[in-house]
Amino acid sequence: MKGNRFVPFALAVGLLVVHAPVFAHHGSNSYDSKTLTTLKGTVTDFQFINPHSEIFFDVTDSAGVVHKWVAEAVSVASLSRYGWTKNSIKPGDQISITGNLAKNGSNTMRLSKLALPNGKVLTVERGEDYAQ
């Protein structure tokens, strides 16, 4: 979601965030499994690794402030079986990314799906009971 609804949220998060994205690997308990949120941003890094791949991206709010985010996905094997490769995303890609936000208010989400600049949508098979 973009626009007005995002701005107050981004400002609130901006007050809480530290220099690096606050990353939490706690399993499904840490994420709001019932709600999906979509953000638009620019990829800064893509770590195609085990046990969880990471997508680092910048989101710029309407005030021009850049917020650093990270999306956590599943393992390399699981992503590969859904068509991902290490070249699926590159720094600089403008993406629309959907996932479950971390409950602790950090700029972290658990990935559900991601839309690439060319329109292709990458999804994942998720291990826990998340909103689809």
Partner 1 sequence: MRGQTAPERAAKAPAHDLTGLWRRARRAPDKKRQYTIFELTASLGNEIAPMTPWGEEKFNAAKPNGGAKGVSLAESNDPALKCFPPGVPRIYTSRLGAPFEIVQSQGRVIMLFEYDHIVREIYTDGRPHPPDLNPTWMGDSIGRWEGNTLVVDTVGFNDKSWLDSVGHPHSDALHLVERIQRVGRDTMIDDITIDDPKSYSKPWVSHMRFELKPDWSLLEYVCEDFLNFQDLEQRSESPK
Residues that bind partner 1 (CB under 8 A): 16-18, 20, 22-29, 49-52, 75-78, 80-81, 104, 106, 108, 125-129
DSSP code for 20: S
- Nearest-angstrom CA–CA distance, 14 and 126: 29
- Looking at residue 7, its amino acid is V
Query: Based on CB atoms, which residue is closest to partner 1, 93 or 126?
Result: 126
In the bound state with partner 1, the residue whose beta carbon lies nearer, of 53 and 93, is 53
How near is the Cβ of 51 to partner 1 at its closest, in Å?
5
User: Radius of gyration (Cα) for the chain, nearest Å?
Assistant: 14
Token couple for 2: 């973009």
Shortest distance, CB of residue 26 to partner 1, whole angstroms? 7
